[in-house]
Every structure is written in C-alpha cells, then in structure tokens.
Structure 1
Amino acid sequence: MRPDVELRLPVDSAYVSVLRATTVSLAARLDFTIDDIEDLRIAVGEASAMVLPSATEGSDLVCRYYMRPGEVSITVAVESEDPELPEEEGFAWQVLSALTTETSTTYENGVFSVTLTMNSTVSL
C-alpha cells in the first residue's frame, strides 16, 4: 500500500521536530481533536527516539503516513543492522500504548520500524 505522505530525513534527532510538525498538520486535516493531535505528536517523538539509536550511519529516517477519515497510521523506520527492540514493559512502550489505538514494531530486511495507529475520538 502506498503511503499518502512520506518523509525522508537524515538520521539525526534534530529532524524529529519536522516529523512532529508534519504529524500535527496531517492530524488537523483529519479533524482530530487537539488532545488527539498532541498525543500523536508525543507518540511520533517517542517512536523516533526508539528507532534512532539503532540506525545505520548515513541512512535515512523515514516516516510514512497512511490516512483515512478518522484514522491515521504512522510508520517511523530506519535501516539497522542490530536494532534495539523495545521492551513491552518499558516506559517508552507504555507511553506509546497509552497514547495510540495500536502500536507495533517490526524488523525485517534490515529495516527497524515502529507503527502507530490512532483513531480520532470524534464520532464521524
């Protein structure tokens, strides 16, 4: 499935603010509430913090947005040779789980990704 929006940025935590700002703009276009938007902004920051330490030097931080009315799925991914998979009992994972409808991680073909899905709390 082709993403509605895809960003490729250098693997550097300085660029996470670009992902957060993009997330805010896209969620607002989907008529998410202010609270939902803030939760997504925080979740994208946490997902980025999870994948960045595992990134292969010189690779890209890739963020893909899949949008449907009342729902957005965001995948934050990096190339990695040896990812540090998050512990489901860890603080960061608990934050993501609390802020989103669904959260998952994958590592396949040398790519480590965290996927977040959120459904708007607004009834459509």
Structure 2
Amino acid sequence: MSSTGRAAEVRLSIPADSAYIAVPRSVVGNLAARNDFTLDAIDDLRIAVDEACALLLPEAADGVLECVFEVDPPQLTVHASAVVPGGWMPDTDSFGWTVLTALVESAAAETVDGRLTITVTATATASETL
C-alpha cells in the first residue's frame, strides 16, 4: 500500500537474461516485507517469482521481461510477462510449475496478443499457512 493508503502498482522491465532475475525477486521481497508477510512467506514469494521469470526467460522473443507488482493489502499479485513464440505455454506438469504453484495462493498463465503472462497471488494471512 502506498503512503496515501491506496493500492499501489510497481512496474519493472528487465532484459530477459538470468543475470537480472535477482531484480524482480528483490522487489517482491521488499514489497512483501512492507506489507506484513512473514519471513517464510516472503521467501516463498521470492522463489515463486523467480520460477515464473525463469519459465519465461528462454521464450522471451523480444529479449524483455515485464513484471507488474500489485499491492493491495493483504494481497500481493505479480504479473510476469514476455512476448513468446506463437502457442507457447509453460508445461504445467514441469518441476518449475509445481514449485511455483506450491508456494503461492494461486498461479495462472494466459496469452493475449502473443504476450504470455504468469500471474501469482499471495495473501499475507493465507501465506502463513502455506
């Protein structure tokens, strides 16, 4: 939540290179810490965002990974997206997807106009029981 008491949104654009994955992981950790997530929940959310980004990296056709962080306490939603080759979707039976879905309240993948977005959502109170 912003200092004005309203929901907040943070946008981030990074090169689709594994060297930059620490940036969205750091941002989500900071936002979760500011919004009363437990230490375990913060770690879970960091790993989930890392996995979402890692799934997109090799497929990012334009070399750019976009992340949008929506903070609406107690909920934190992250949309990681990239332009991907036509028809590509993450393998929901893969280890990465299994890890991703185990760590957050919800996870989904959706393609719109060639851009695949992986959305993960966690709630401060719900994440304590995950």
- Given that 2:107 and 2:119 are in contact with CA atoms closer than 8 Å, whether structure 1 keeps it comes out as yes
Does residue 37 of structure 2 align to residue 32 of structure 1?
Answer: yes
Distance (whole Å) between structure 1 residues aligned to residue 17 and residue 8 of structure 2: 22
Report how far residue 97 of structure 1 moved.
1.0
Distance (whole Å) between structure 1 residues aligned to residue 55 and residue 100 of structure 2: 11
Partner of 2:64: 60
Task: Tell me how large the CA RMSD over aligned residues is.
Answer: 1.9
**Unaligned stretches of 5+ residues in structure 2:** 1-6
- Three-state SS of the structure 2 residue aligned to 1:4 is strand
Partner of 1:45: 50
TM-score, structure 1 as length reference? 0.89
Percent identity (aligned): 36
- Given that 2:82 and 2:116 are in contact with CA atoms closer than 8 Å, whether structure 1 keeps it comes out as yes
Distance (whole Å) between structure 2 residues aligned to residue 23 and residue 11 of structure 1: 18
- Given that 2:108 and 2:118 are in contact with CA atoms closer than 8 Å, whether structure 1 keeps it comes out as yes
Say which of 93, 96, 103 aligns to 1:99: 103
Report how far residue 82 of structure 1 moved.
3.4
- Three-state SS of the structure 1 residue aligned to 2:81 is strand
Partner of 2:124: 120
The aligned length equals: 121
Partner of 1:10: 15
Report how far residue 85 of structure 1 moved.
1.7
TM-score, structure 2 as length reference? 0.85
Structure 1 moving runs of 4+ over 4 Å: none
**Unaligned stretches of 5+ residues in structure 1:** none
Distance (whole Å) between structure 1 residues aligned to residue 71 and residue 33 of structure 2: 12
Report how far residue 113 of structure 1 moved.
1.4
